[in-house]
Chain A
Amino acid sequence: MSGLAILIPVALLMGLCGLAFFFWAMRNDQFEDLDGAAQRVLIDEEEEPS
């Protein structure tokens, strides 16, 4: 029982963290272009024109 008293709050907290991260990602338009993200991996990094 004492194990549960720690594990269940930990599980819930971790879940809430995940949820918070998801909300953060959504607010930052991380899901706008899912196919593009997959393609961009293939682009060679070039010197940024400064």
Chain B
Amino acid sequence: MNAITPLGDAQSQSVVSRFAVPAIRCAGCIAKIENGLSGVPGILSSRVNFSTKQVAISHLPELDDDQLKKQIEALGFEAQILADNPLSEEKGSTDKLIRALAVAGFGMMNIMLLSVSVWSGATGVTRDLFHWLSALIAIPVIAYSGRPFFASATMALRYGRTNMDVPISIGILLATGLSLYETATGGAHAYFDGAVMLLFFLLAGRVLDGMMRDRAREGIGALLKQAAPGAMVVTDDGTTNWVATRDLRPDMRMMVAAGGNLAADGVIEKGSSSFDCSLMTGESEPQPKGEGDIVLAGTLNLSSPVVVRVTATGEDTSVADIARLMDEAGQHRSFYVRVADRAARYYAPAVHSLALLAFAYWMIVGAGWHQSLLIAVAVLIITCPCALGLAVPAAQVVASGALLRKGVMVKDGSALERLAEVDYALFDKTGTLTLGHPVPVNLDDLNLTQKQIALALSQASHHPISKAIRAALLAQDITPAMLDRVEELPGEGMSACWHGMPVMLGKPEQSEDHLASQLSVGSDKIVLQLKDEIRPEAPEALARLQAMGLPASIISGDNIRSVSLVATALDIPAQAGASPQDKVEAITGLAASGHKVLMVGDGLNDGPALAAAHVSIAPGSASDVGQQAADAVFTSESLMPVALSVKVARRTMQIVHQNFALAIGYNIIAVPLALTGMVTPLIAAIAMSLSSLIVVGNALRLNGAAK
């Protein structure tokens, strides 16, 4: 079966993986990544998306995501795996809106062409002909492009509510109907151009809004998949067989190999090992666990195989508890009313009453129902919320675009609105304030042989410290030494024989204040210090937040020692040893005292807190759950984007409010004209485009806001 697979066959079984590569900056980077990857066996093709800073790689299933990530990193770019996104299907809705926008644009241009002739003085048969032609174009265009509004309006009306789409639909339908009547009776004015232009501007607003959501969604990953897909279960007669997670039952005994994830909660029955619980607790140091100790689903067995008796599976595990907690915590957000909706709530009834009043007034005065209806429609068209519909999305799209260029993906517009309101910042420690992976600081105290031994020892272990040492040594192009009898002693370290001499990499003899490891070769003992570095620019970012009126503090699940190290370094208050529940309580406590909390965190254990906070940001290195729960994700190493996002959000809200003021100001001028019956289709067309252009122009100023 080693024959060369024909290309067609290879492509049919190819898999596409996506990676976020924030460091893509120029054409050179695109060429470097695409050409570099095309040489790798197993990779069929790769495509860089410059706008979203992503790389899509189509490859054979033999290559897994970690290997691909290493390939990208070998080219000199840091990469993050993007999980398949269940939300990306919604992208279709924006495509539909763009098509509607294109059709409306086509209709608008052609009708305007005819309208200009009418305005410049076409009369009689020519005018009638042009009106009929306009109707011919306008009716299919409105039927096609108006669907998003009509559908949403009927939906709202069916449930006895009203939204912005109801006045829009009524306005468009009334204007079209009246214009048809005018055309049929050879009248002077038809509002087909107005109706189609209205659709065009409103669709533009919707498209901007949708684009913003899509752009962020593309980058944001998937759901709970921390627990292993299954486990090796030991049966009574001693044989083992693989059982999927959903078929695990309490009291089954599962074998968990070193380096394996737990599929269910349980109690260790045989063996002892150390476990990486950082996912659940935020604690960065591995926990030694022995017989009788409880271990949780999703944690990683680091050193030696153990037998675990299952106590809880599926919905009853602690991971599922966190998911539930997250769900509950996220509930309050659905009550948040977006600025545009709040405006619409007052705007729609006001406009309708105004049109109705105008109609009634002119009827009473005796203008006849035809004239009165014309005026009422003019009021509806001229007040129709074009500028209002563009005011919010235009500003938010420009702002999120500016943020995206700085490596911050904002999930939706309401996130920017909420971000502008925060007045308190809570930070997780590991992976948020720090980079989340320890780095050895004094490797060069070792000579070459010692380095080779250290590498050989660290390669055999899954311990985070070993991984850090291995990564640093591999970066120096060290080759591992040949060792005999490599053995892992749980909680102690790795031991082996090198040319008959006992060597060991493990816990230092004197207890150290921070992460450290000791390499002993014979009688030589060297302590390797490791440091989980604080993110670059963290002090500056915190100072900026402080200056903007956001005091910051740390809330971490890690032990008090490592938390206080970071807290003193950054000079901010801290709370250590906090469980996911504690974090949520801290946030609800602050919220109860009137604070709007910004939560910045990365782990699974931060998930509920991220969902509970008024608004939340996660680093790109965060767990899928963290990214899922957060409102925004920043991909750079520096912490500065957090401060920048708050600044841009506040600036955005300023612009949004200015836009509202502009839109309202325009209405104050235009409405009296419409009420007095002075608005012709020409005036309506000019007023509408002018107000929309001003609003968009104002929003474009945000382009420079992320400097």
Contact = CB atoms under 8 A, between A and B. Distances in A.
A14 to B, nearest CB: 10
B143 interface: no
Contacts of A34: 51
B48 A36 contact: yes
A36 B49 contact: yes
Nearest to A18: B106
Most buried by A among B27, B95, B99, B113: B27
Given A43-B27, A43-B30, A49-B39, A36 B106 contact: no
Interface in B472-526: none
A33 B133 CA distance: 38
Contacts of B14: none
A40 B49 CA distance: 11
A39 B27 contact: yes
A46 B113 CA distance: 47
Interface in B39-76: 39, 48-52
A32 B98 CA distance: 13
Contacts of B30: 36, 39-40, 43
Q: A-side binding surface: helix, strand, loop or mixed?
A: helix
Contact of A39 (B50, B102, B109, B114): B50
Contacts of B49: 32-33, 36
A19 B50 contact: no
B35 interface: yes
Interface in B92-124: 95, 98-99, 102-103, 106, 109-110, 113-114
Contacts of A23: 99, 102
Contacts of B156: none
A35 B137 contact: no
Interface string A24-50: 001000001111100111111010010
A42 B113 CA distance: 39
A35 B51 contact: yes
B38 interface: yes
A43 B49 CA distance: 15
Given A15-B109, A49-B38, A35 B102 contact: no
B27 A12 contact: no
B329 to A, nearest CB: 35
Interface string A5-23: 0001001100110110011
A27 B500 CA distance: 68
A33 B95 CA distance: 15
B57 to A, nearest CB: 15
A41 B28 CA distance: 11
Nearest to B95: A26
A28 to B, nearest CB: 12
B51 A16 contact: no
A40 B50 CA distance: 9
B365 interface: no
Most buried by A among B50, B98, B114: B50
Most buried by B among A11, A23, A39: A39
Contact of B113 (A11, A22, A32, A43): A11
Contacts of B35: 46
Given A36-B30, A42-B27, A11 B102 contact: no
A36 B26 CA distance: 9
Contacts of A40: 27, 30, 50
Contacts of A12: 110, 137
A12 B326 CA distance: 55
A12 B137 CA distance: 9
A8 B126 CA distance: 13
Contact of B50 (A15, A26, A33): A33
A10 B243 CA distance: 69
B31 interface: yes
Contacts of A39: 26-27, 30, 50
B27 A11 contact: no
Contacts of B48: 33, 36
Contacts of B26: 39, 42
A20 to B, nearest CB: 10
A15 B99 contact: no
Nearest to B114: A8
A15 B102 contact: no
A29 to B, nearest CB: 10
A15 B136 CA distance: 14
A36 B50 contact: yes
Nearest to B48: A36
Nearest to B125: A1
Nearest to A32: B49
Contacts of B106: 15-16, 18-19
Most buried by B among A1, A16, A36, A44: A36
Contacts of A1: 126
Interface string B82-98: 00000000000001001
Contacts of A22: 102
B50 A35 contact: yes
Given A36-B50, A49-B39, A26 B99 contact: yes
Given A32-B51, A34-B51, A42-B28, 6 more contacts: A1-B126, A12-B110, A22-B102, A36-B30, A40-B27, A49-B39
17 contacts: A12-B137, A15-B109, A16-B106, A18-B106, A19-B106, A33-B48, A33-B50, A34-B51, A35-B50, A35-B51, A36-B48, A36-B49, A39-B27, A39-B30, A40-B50, A43-B28, A44-B31
Interface of A: 1, 8, 11-12, 15-16, 18-19, 22-23, 26, 32-36, 39-44, 46, 49
Instruction: Please list the 9 inter-chain residue pairs (A to B) with the smallest Cβ-Cβ separation, ordered nearest first.
Output: A36-B50, A42-B27, A39-B27, A43-B31, A33-B49, A35-B51, A35-B50, A19-B106, A33-B51
